[in-house]
Amino acid sequence: MSQMRARPLIDWRAKSHLAYLAYAMHRFSGLLLACFIPVHFFMLAQSLRGVEGFQQKLNLTHFWVFKFGEWALVILLTIHLVGGVRLLMIEFGPWRGLRKSWIQASIVMGILSGLLFLYLSN
């Protein structure tokens, strides 16, 4: 009859503010980038095989999955960069609040990066 459960924890209602979103985007993008970087370096190291060998390996990435991944990673990289500069401003610069305009900028720059990538690679 009674619905005994564990006490509630901090939930989405407390996290629905811009600075928290900035933290979440920064952490998410950082995590995915950290996983991607070794793979990226490995692909570049295939240049050890010479031009033809390298091109053979690069051809594997012509599937749409990889193209989508590259597009997503460029967006994530931009978000992580702009969000990161915001943090450096907060931690090393003069205090000017949570710098929310930088958060908006990181989203806008991310979108721009995505669009630029699509425009240039097609």
Give the nearest distance from C-beta 92 to another protein in angstroms. 6
Q: Looking at residue 15, what DSSP letter applies?
A: T
Give the nearest distance from C-beta 11 to another protein in angstroms. 5
- DSSP-assigned beta bridge partners for residue 98: 96
Give whichever of 19 and 105 is closer to another protein, judged by the CB atom. 19
Question: Which positions lie near another protein, rule CB under 8 A?
Answer: 2-15, 17, 19-20, 22-23, 27, 30-31, 33-34, 37-38, 41-42, 44-45, 47-55, 58, 74, 77-78, 80-81, 84-85, 87-88, 90-92, 95, 97-98, 113, 116-117, 120-121
Give the nearest distance from C-beta 100 to another protein in angstroms. 9
In whole angstroms, what is the distance from residue 81 CA to residue 74 CA? 10
Give the nearest distance from C-beta 52 to another protein in angstroms. 8
In whole angstroms, what is the distance from residue 79 CA to residue 99 CA? 15
In whole angstroms, what is the distance from residue 102 CA to residue 100 CA? 5
The distance from CA 121 to its chain's CA centroid, rounded to whole angstroms, is 19
Give whichever of 33 and 105 is closer to another protein, judged by the CB atom. 33
Residues 6+ apart with CB under 8 A from 49: 56, 57
